[in-house]
Amino acid sequence: PNSKLSDGKPRLLLMGQRRSGKSSISSVVFHKMPPTETLFLESTARIQKDSMHSFMDFQVWDFPGQLDFFDPAFDVDNIFGEIGALIWVIDAQDDYLDAINRLNTTILHLQQTYPSINVEVFIHKVDGLSEDYKADTFRDVIQRIQDELSDAGYENAPVSFYQTSIYDHSIFEAFSKVIQKLIPQLPTLESLLDSLCNNCRIEKAFLFDVLSKIYIAADTTPSDISSYEISSDYIDVIVDVSEIYGWDRPSKAAENEVDGEDQIENPDAESVITLQNDSYLYLREINKYLALICLMREDSRGKKGLIDYNVGVFQDALAQVFTR
Ligand code: GDP
């Protein structure tokens, strides 16, 4: 295995023009900064590697106006060689034509050498726009990018578009979609979650990267964003509480050295909260990065043993998926 491959974690690179919102996005998503505090952030300077306690690996790269990043002085291969997705941030509240030109140039360059990189365009800061203007802007950006690429002879470019803001859950939702494309085991994870839901009458189940609140998989029943929102708010509460009251547990590896089996009875954190509308949330720590959150009806409450058992099965299956 390549040591540069950062433990096989999905790798993301965040690019876009100065003030487009890159530092804000990484601070809010990966460092739990309240959105309003980003007003006082220093703008991104050059490459920042963000190594954090997360399921994914993340770099932010600023695009200073005068700098040509295809300059041979840059080790392009080192930067793009192992990237899973390039996220390009466009400020929807600003004049975006220049940003689009740069993005198109970048895509055309990249497709020659790194055709497998997903290009993910975040049309960002949409919180400040009216619904109509927001929809028009979204359409306009997509149109301009697709037209230019197809004029250049590049049809069906692997480019996706999202409307994002750090002031609501849209930035987390977009990151979740981006990350899920990079997880080859996603169909397996989804079917494991589906069967967990069937067996325990769970309405919705998410597998969350705890630190970033990005979900790397969910069961496949359709749901609205509110179940994601409530689950992610719940993670915030749990993380805050466990930062105060948590305790250091031995890592799974250390445990396994003892006798190859789980020695400590149920060592993973677990929490349940009842909601107003006759339903409740169940959270279970899965490994050092991931937690399972299930949204359930009050009537499945008496089945705690059944749920614990099935979650244990799920957890074992998951461990196999990720060591394979
Ligand atoms: P960078 O140079 O690309 O790293 O941009 P910054 O992260 O420094 O952001 C520039 C400005 O945009 C800051 O004042 C942020 O508060 C603001 N900003 C970032 N994201 C959003 C957003 O989603 N909505 C709004 N309204 N402002 C944002």
Interface confidence, given as ipTM, is 0.98
Taking the C-alpha atoms of residue 225 and residue 22, their distance in angstroms, rounded to an integer, is 24
Give the pLDDT of residue 112: 81
Question: Ligand 1 centre from 304 Cα, in Å?
Answer: 44
Return mean pLDDT, the chain: 80
Give the pLDDT of residue 63: 52
Mean pLDDT (whole number) for 285-313: 84
Does 27 sit in the ligand 1 pocket, CB within 6 Å?
no
Mean pLDDT (whole number) for 68-91: 73
Closest atom of ligand 1 relative to the 40 alpha carbon: 14
Indicate the pLDDT class of residue 64, thresholds 50, 70 and 90.
very low
Question: Ligand 1 centre from 185 Cα, in Å?
Answer: 34
Query: What is the arrangement of strands in the sheet containing 159-164, beginning at the earlier edge strand?
Result: 47-50, 57-61, 11-16, 85-91, 118-124, 159-164
Does 127 sit in the ligand 1 pocket, CB within 6 Å?
yes
Question: Ligand 1 centre from 7 Cα, in Å?
Answer: 31
Q: How far is CA 98 from the centre of its chain?
A: 27
Question: Ligand 1 centre from 96 Cα, in Å?
Answer: 15
Q: How far is CA 34 from the centre of its chain?
A: 18
Taking the C-alpha atoms of residue 165 and residue 31, their distance in angstroms, rounded to an integer, is 16
Decide if pLDDT at 55 tops 80. no
Does 20 sit in the ligand 1 pocket, CB within 6 Å?
yes
Which tens digit of pLDDT belongs to each residue from 261-286? 444 445 567 777 777 777 888 888 88
Indicate the pLDDT class of residue 6, thresholds 50, 70 and 90.
very low
Does 23 sit in the ligand 1 pocket, CB within 6 Å?
yes
Give the pLDDT of residue 26: 85
Which tens digit of pLDDT belongs to each residue from 240-261? 776 666 556 555 555 444 444 4
Give the pLDDT of residue 154: 87
Question: Ligand 1 centre from 104 Cα, in Å?
Answer: 22
Does 311 sit in the ligand 1 pocket, CB within 6 Å?
no
Taking the C-alpha atoms of residue 170 and residue 129, their distance in angstroms, rounded to an integer, is 14
Does 102 sit in the ligand 1 pocket, CB within 6 Å?
no
On whether the CB atoms of residues 237 and 246 are closer than 8 A, the answer is: no
Closest atom of ligand 1 relative to the 26 alpha carbon: 7
Q: Whose alpha carbon is nearest atom 24 of ligand 1?
A: 125
On whether the CB atoms of residues 177 and 10 are closer than 8 A, the answer is: no
Give the pLDDT of residue 46: 53
Q: What is the C-alpha R_g of the chain? A: 21
Does 43 sit in the ligand 1 pocket, CB within 6 Å?
yes
Does 19 sit in the ligand 1 pocket, CB within 6 Å?
yes
Tokens of 309: 């058992």
On whether the CB atoms of residues 322 and 86 are closer than 8 A, the answer is: no
Does 163 sit in the ligand 1 pocket, CB within 6 Å?
no
Give the pLDDT of residue 138: 96
Query: How many alpha carbons lie under 13 Å from residue 91 in its C-beta half-sphere?
Result: 13
Taking the C-alpha atoms of residue 105 and residue 110, their distance in angstroms, rounded to an integer, is 9
On whether the CB atoms of residues 170 and 164 are closer than 8 A, the answer is: yes
Does 94 sit in the ligand 1 pocket, CB within 6 Å?
no
On whether the CB atoms of residues 289 and 211 are closer than 8 A, the answer is: yes
Give the pLDDT of residue 260: 42
Give the pLDDT of residue 268: 67
Ranking 20-34, 87-101, 182-196 by mean pLDDT, the lowest is 20-34
Question: Ligand 1 centre from 22 Cα, in Å?
Answer: 7
* Amino acid at residue number 275: L
Q: How far is CA 82 from the centre of its chain?
A: 18
What backbone torsions phi and psi does residue 216 show, to the nearest 5 degrees? -90, -15
Decide if pLDDT at 143 tops 90. yes
